[in-house]
A = this chain, B = another copy of it.
Amino acid sequence: MGVRKEKAAGTEAALKDAARQLFVERGYLNTKITDITRAAGRSTGSFYEHFPSKEALLDALMNDLRDQASQELRGQSHPAHPADHDLADREQLRAHLAAAWRTMRDNLPVVLATHEATVAAGPASGQAWQELATGTEMLRDHLEQAHRRGQPLPGDPELVAAAMGAMLSSLAYALLPAGAGGGPARWSDDQILDTVTSLLLTGLRG
């Protein structure tokens, strides 16, 4: 890997890379197929040899993300992610939120693009709720287990999980992109995570 990836990578990979970059810069909806091919140094027609549409490309990017994630999990100390986490413990809650935050930051292009696609699907599609629900499955599991252990919860575990996820992902969308948040980052990741952790753990009464 001497001179970047260059043409070393295949066209498909080049298109993916270009797409990722453009998705963060201009957004998914504003990025046209021709923008992607041009940025990748390929011709328009070449695109369709690899993807039938822009949506298909995004699907592929999401699959890449999933594959990578499950691979990392397999090769690590997490056999299946210990389900006996106690989210009422500050360290564990923060670790959880930090992991989610990091994942979003590391995969910002795909995360942003997916969100844009969801919104573009329209309110009646129900995709917004679905995105929220599937993105907080783990959280919900932990909360349900805690609930079974007798710990009091602010409400239905699924709803609580969704609320927590809503806060985090919405903040991510507003603050993570470069140039967002009103210029140079106002808050560090640590500050944000500390604040959210405290707020979710003990609320305004602290």
Contact segment of A32-40, A43-51, A57-65, A171-179: A171-179
Contact A199 B124 (CB under 8 A): no
- Identical copies in the complex: 2
CB contact list, A147-186 vs B, under 8 A:
152-156, 159-160, 162-164, 166-167, 169-171, 173-175, 177-182, 186
A195 within 8 A of B: yes
Contact segment of A9-17, A22-30, A76-84: A22-30
| Residue with the greatest number of chain B CB neighbours at <10 A, chosen from A115, A163, A192 | A163
Residues of B within 8 A of A180 (CB): 123-124, 126, 128-129
A198 within 8 A of B: yes
A116 within 8 A of B: yes
Contact B205 A205 (CB under 8 A): no
Residues of B within 8 A of A52 (CB): none
Contact A24 B123 (CB under 8 A): yes
Residues of B within 8 A of A29 (CB): 29, 119-120, 122
> Which A residues form the contact surface with B (CB < 8 A)?
24-27, 29-30, 87-88, 93, 112, 115-116, 119-126, 128-133, 152-156, 159-160, 162-164, 166-167, 169-171, 173-175, 177-182, 186-187, 191-192, 194-196, 198-206
A–B Cβ pairs within 8 angstroms, 10 of them: A27-B125, A124-B178, A128-B173, A132-B174, A152-B206, A155-B198, A166-B170, A169-B170, A202-B202, A202-B203
